[in-house]
Structure 1
Amino acid sequence: MDYTLEIENTPDTVPGGTSVLLLHPSTGETDRIDTDFLKTDTDSFLVVSTRTTAREVTQKLEYYDVDESRAVILDTLSIERGYSRRSSDNVHYVAAPDDVDGIVRQVERFLETNDGKVRVSFDSVTELAYYAGERAALETVERLVNLLEAHDAIGLFHLSEEVHDDEIVEQFRALFDGIVDLDEAGNVTTAF
């Protein structure tokens, strides 16, 4: 199964199982790329958020006119921060952003229960590394990339390259089929 990509300078389509790394500066405006990725050629999608709460993710989807009826959100922050939360069919929680096994379980459950063209956005790997450590983040991303491949889904993973050593960035890059590089000025270069 092929998926359409609406990200500038990328191939028109990519096969199921493709994982894409979005490299960006720490101040980069990634929402446009992320929402373009989610709203195109998609039956259902999961946003794994280690950076913002489910409420903030919902606001972003509304602002960029993404069909929320297709959305499932995994909020990793609200429980740890003591925010009120309401579980629903479309919003799930894990105890903390460093609960890597809980995150992987929730992604696997989503992939197993949704058919058709399925996408996952992970925002952000940098925040996961901040909470769980870079080694755990690398292992978690590798597990998720393998799940996407096994379920013929595609994923977009956010990584702020300024925060990590070059060696760590290269280790992350090696896990992915495609790289989307967003610079400070908002220019996009890619390698697939």
Structure 2
Amino acid sequence: MAFDNFSTAQISIMVINFVTGFVMVLAYYILISVPNTEAVGRQLVHLFRFFPPYNIGEGLINLSSTYYRNSVNGESVGYFDWPVTGRNIVFMLVEAVGYFGIVLLTEFTPLLRFIHYVERKRVSLIAPPAPPKNGYDEDVLEEAERVKHIPVVDLARQQNKMQAQQAHQGRFQAVS
């Protein structure tokens, strides 16, 4: 998954919508207002129209300017005409079909299985190897074998020696 929790996903989508809506609409109108950047703005608008929030923002601005033109200038421009909101509505309808197709592809079970398979392979190349099935490393198993072969009498003798040393020196403090 792309996100670990739902709130991160929600905030990310809100930021994407803000950038593709408000910021791109603002950028377009600023670019076409400056004579040196007008050509760039006229080209970038074709890229911007792939984002539904941009289409909504541009449509709302076109609606308000059309209302102004109709009421103040006495023109009779239709609100659903192609340059007003018609183009934006058609773009969003086409995008709805395309984005729905993308959702179907990402939610389609065989494709998800393939994506998970690729992800597992990628992680197995990066991550350290899994621990042994019995849960112990090689060095721990070797030490266990070594201790297993020490006679019990020797273990008791070593323990008594350590207890006597502690009684004589007192408890050792690693940190004072």
Work out whether the TM-score is over 0.5.
no
Question: Which of the two has higher C-alpha Rg?
Answer: 2
Structure with greater proportional helix content: 2
Does 1 or 2 have the higher relative contact order (CA < 8 Å, sep 6+)?
A: 1
The TM-score with structure 2 as length reference comes to 0.25
The TM-score with structure 1 as length reference comes to 0.24
Structure with greater proportional strand content: 1
